[in-house]
Amino acid sequence: MGHIALLAEACQHGGMSDFQAITYEVDGAICTITLDRPEVANAQNTEMIDEIDAALDLADADDAVRVVILAGNGKHWSAGHDLKALVGDTEPDRWRLMRETPEGKWHHEKVMYFDRCLRIRDFRKPTIAAVQGKCIAAGVMLACMCDLIVASDDASFQNPVLRMTGAGVELLVEPWEMPARKAKEFLLAAETFSAADAERLGMVNRVVPRAELRAATVELAERIALVPPTTAQVVKRSINKTLDLQGQRDAYDYHFQAHHWMHNTATALDALEARKAKGSMKEVFAEHRDDGEGS
């Protein structure tokens, strides 16, 4: 029996699967995939990314599912990549060993981040990100792969990776989510945008009180689920095609190559060695915050 068949067998309709880093739940036409590493602010490690991909296989194969919600358990939606795992030895050997060469690192990030993110963007069923608390760097990238974003009023968005020598993250979503000058401010000044800021700029569809986030997202999903699946798929694809004709996919690809060029500069390699010498990722982030304090 294949991997997906085993997962499907473990996942009773309306119940939760036996995933470790996420939960998977179906209620009527709505599937909810929940990032479930609250102890590390839902930082994305290989296990989580693999499981999101497997969960999408389940949602795609389930004809009852018409809309997918991507949620986060705990105080924060996602702190981005699990940098501690990436620079340590807790990741699977197949990726940890591969990242020891520039070409291996390129392949790892192409498969795990670039391709997996675009899979969400191109997923045939409508998707909604339900974002609360902090949404940082790769968290912003992941949320922006969804068709719609509902944010709680305490949500905030930030991508401070430039201060850590990275050229953003693997997909530079910001120029497509806000005006170019605001994207430059957001990235170059490591600005934190509130949920209200993000809604004003067009990155977020709506902002609701924290206590109402789940109910508001489900209500929106239920309204979308009234559209026949084929109709929703066709219109979603047409809108995505419009973005592609404007250059979105080519721009994403260009930035991915530039991102990897930056990885191998002396600036980035020296910074990586310095990060490895830190006692914790909290120390790394504290060094790059305006107030000098950890999150």
pLDDT band at 89 (very low <50, low <70, confident <90, very high): low
Name the nearest CA neighbour of 119 among 49, 25, 41. 49
Residue 294 in domain: no
**What's residue 68's pLDDT?**
99
- Residue 16 DSSP label: B
pLDDT tens-digit profile of 40-80? 999 999 999 999 999 999 999 999 999 999 999 999 999 99
Is the pLDDT at 85 greater than 80? The verdict is: no
Is the pLDDT at 281 greater than 70? The verdict is: no
pLDDT tens-digit profile of 174-188? 999 999 999 999 999
pLDDT tens-digit profile of 72-82? 999 999 999 99
Q: What mean pLDDT comes out for the span 204-215?
A: 98
Q: What mean pLDDT comes out for the span 226-230?
A: 98
Residue 46 in domain: yes
Q: Cα separation of 167 and 169, whole Å?
A: 6
- pTM of the entire predicted model: 0.88
Residue 295 in domain: no
**What's residue 293's pLDDT?**
44
Residue 20 in domain: yes
Residue 292 in domain: no
pLDDT tens-digit profile of 102-152? 888 889 899 999 999 999 999 999 999 999 999 999 999 999 999 999 999
Q: Which two tokens stand for residue 90?
A: 């807790």
Residue 26 in domain: yes
**What's residue 98's pLDDT?**
67
CATH number of the domain bearing residue 155? 3.90.226.10
- Report percent pLDDT > 90 for the chain: 72
Is the pLDDT at 275 greater than 80? The verdict is: no
Backbone angles phi, psi at 4, to 5 degrees: -70, -35
Is the pLDDT at 268 greater than 90? The verdict is: no
Residue 230 in domain: yes
What strands lie across the sheet with 148-152, from one edge to the other? 22-27, 30-35, 67-72, 127-131, 148-152, 206-208
Domain that holds residue 174: 3-215+225-287
* Number of domains the chain is built from: 1
Q: Cα separation of 25 and 209, whole Å?
A: 23
